[in-house]
Amino acid sequence: MQVTVEIPDDVAERLKAASGDLSRRALEALALEAYRRGQLTKPELRRLLGFGTRDALDGFLKAHGVFEPYSLDDLARERHDLERLAILMPMRLVVADTGPINYLILIGAIEVLPKLFDSCRSAQGNEFPIST
């Protein structure tokens, strides 16, 4: 469907100079307002505006100050789901450090440490002697 909008030439020229394609701006404004009123779904809005991905549409909506409604009930439901997942898949703490001390501990050869170093310094800068 084609829609024609009559705009005085001087106003149209100023608007066009300020921000480019008036047809696109009019389409975006109409589509955003329809989406805000609940007259368009996100898939319909995406198709109407020609966005290839949901991410592109989300960026457009964010740039125009349109955010998904998110209530305390939504938060409570997501929190419940995350707690349930944590029970099903317990988290494990993994510390990744390839330093020589950690390596010696991992391979069970901490007794080699005094042969390699006179003392060690912690990440906080505290130095401590290594006893044999």
Q: How does DSSP assign 1-44, residue by residue?
A: --------HHHHHHHHHHHS-HHHHHHHHHHHHHHHTTSS-HHH
pTM (global) more than 0.75: no
Q: Given pLDDT bands bounded at 50, 70 and 90, which one contains residue 109?
A: confident
User: Tens digit of pLDDT for each residue in 21-53?
Assistant: 888 988 999 999 999 999 999 999 999 999 999
Same domain for 49 and 110, yes or no, is: no
Q: Count how many domains the chain has.
A: 2
Indicate if 78 and 109 belong to the same structural domain: no
**Shared-domain flag, residues 37 and 58:** yes
For residue 65, which of 37, 42, 32, 40 has the smallest C-alpha distance?
Answer: 32
The parent domain of residue 109 ranges over 100-129
Same domain, 24 and 51: yes
- CA dist 5 and 19 (Å) reads 17
For residues 69 and 124, membership in a common domain is answered with no
Planar angle of CA 86, 92, 94, nearest 5 degrees: 145
